Amino acid sequence: IKRTPGRTEALDREPDQNTVVIDRNSTGSVVVEKQRVGELPANYEELAKKYRELQQRFDLLEVKLNQLNDKTNRSR
Protein backbone atom coordinates (compact mmCIF):
# COMPACT_ATOMS: atom_id res chain seq x y z
CA ILE A 1 0.00 0.00 0.00
CA LYS A 2 1.41 3.35 -1.02
CA ARG A 3 0.44 6.35 1.05
CA THR A 4 0.52 9.89 -0.25
CA PRO A 5 -1.07 12.88 1.48
CA GLY A 6 -4.85 12.40 1.40
CA ARG A 7 -4.67 9.33 -0.83
CA THR A 8 -4.05 5.63 -0.35
CA GLU A 9 -3.92 3.20 -3.21
CA ALA A 10 -2.88 -0.38 -3.72
CA LEU A 11 0.32 -1.05 -5.61
CA ASP A 12 1.79 -4.14 -7.22
CA ARG A 13 -1.54 -5.37 -8.50
CA GLU A 14 -2.12 -7.52 -11.50
CA PRO A 15 -3.56 -5.35 -14.28
CA ASP A 16 -6.77 -7.42 -14.35
CA GLN A 17 -7.60 -6.72 -10.69
CA ASN A 18 -9.68 -3.89 -9.26
CA THR A 19 -8.11 -0.74 -7.87
CA VAL A 20 -9.95 1.15 -5.16
CA VAL A 21 -8.83 4.68 -4.37
CA ILE A 22 -10.06 6.18 -1.12
CA ASP A 23 -9.66 9.92 -1.03
CA ARG A 24 -11.07 13.04 0.58
CA ASN A 25 -12.63 15.65 -1.67
CA SER A 26 -12.34 19.40 -1.09
CA THR A 27 -15.17 19.36 1.47
CA GLY A 28 -13.46 16.63 3.48
CA SER A 29 -15.97 13.95 2.50
CA VAL A 30 -14.58 10.52 1.79
CA VAL A 31 -14.71 9.58 -1.87
CA VAL A 32 -14.34 6.00 -3.05
CA GLU A 33 -13.52 5.57 -6.69
CA LYS A 34 -13.99 2.03 -7.92
CA GLN A 35 -11.97 1.58 -11.06
CA ARG A 36 -13.51 -1.54 -12.50
CA VAL A 37 -11.05 -3.71 -14.35
CA GLY A 38 -12.21 -7.25 -14.97
CA GLU A 39 -14.77 -8.76 -12.60
CA LEU A 40 -15.67 -7.55 -9.13
CA PRO A 41 -14.46 -9.71 -6.24
CA ALA A 42 -17.03 -12.26 -5.05
CA ASN A 43 -17.37 -10.57 -1.66
CA TYR A 44 -17.78 -7.04 -3.05
CA GLU A 45 -21.32 -6.70 -1.66
CA GLU A 46 -20.10 -7.75 1.78
CA LEU A 47 -17.23 -5.26 1.61
CA ALA A 48 -19.59 -2.50 0.46
CA LYS A 49 -21.94 -3.23 3.37
CA LYS A 50 -19.06 -3.15 5.87
CA TYR A 51 -17.81 0.11 4.35
CA ARG A 52 -21.27 1.70 4.76
CA GLU A 53 -21.45 0.53 8.39
CA LEU A 54 -18.01 1.97 9.12
CA GLN A 55 -18.90 5.21 7.33
CA GLN A 56 -22.03 5.58 9.50
CA ARG A 57 -20.02 4.98 12.68
CA PHE A 58 -17.40 7.48 11.50
CA ASP A 59 -20.11 10.06 10.79
CA LEU A 60 -21.55 9.58 14.30
CA LEU A 61 -18.11 10.01 15.85
CA GLU A 62 -17.57 13.15 13.78
CA VAL A 63 -20.89 14.57 15.04
CA LYS A 64 -19.94 13.79 18.66
CA LEU A 65 -16.51 15.36 18.17
CA ASN A 66 -18.08 18.51 16.74
CA GLN A 67 -20.48 18.67 19.70
CA LEU A 68 -17.55 18.37 22.12
CA ASN A 69 -15.67 21.08 20.24
CA ASP A 70 -18.72 23.36 20.42
CA LYS A 71 -19.04 22.81 24.20
CA THR A 72 -15.32 23.45 24.66
CA ASN A 73 -15.44 26.64 22.61
CA ARG A 74 -18.51 27.89 24.50
CA SER A 75 -16.90 27.28 27.90
CA ARG A 76 -13.86 29.42 27.03
pLDDT per residue of the chain (76 residues) written in tens, 0 to 9: 555 555 444 544 444 455 565 666 666 666 666 555 555 666 788 888 889 999 999 999 999 999 999 999 898 7
Task: Confirm if 9 and 2 have CB atoms less than 8 A apart.
Answer: yes
pLDDT of residue 15: 45
What is the rounded CA–CA span in Å between residue 20 and residue 36?
9
Task: Confirm if 21 and 32 have CB atoms less than 8 A apart.
Answer: yes
Q: Residue 49's domain spans which residues?
A: 41-76
Domain co-membership, 32 together with 59: no
pTM above 0.75, yes or no: no
pLDDT of residue 66: 93
pLDDT of residue 16: 45
Domain co-membership, 70 together with 51: yes
Q: How many domains in the chain?
A: 2
Domain co-membership, 33 together with 50: no
Q: Are strands 30-35 and 2-4 parallel, antiparallel or unpaired?
A: unpaired
CA distances from 75 to 14, 35, 61, 64, 66 (A): 55, 47, 21, 17, 14
pLDDT of residue 20: 60
Domain co-membership, 36 together with 56: no
Domain co-membership, 12 together with 45: no
Domain co-membership, 1 together with 36: yes
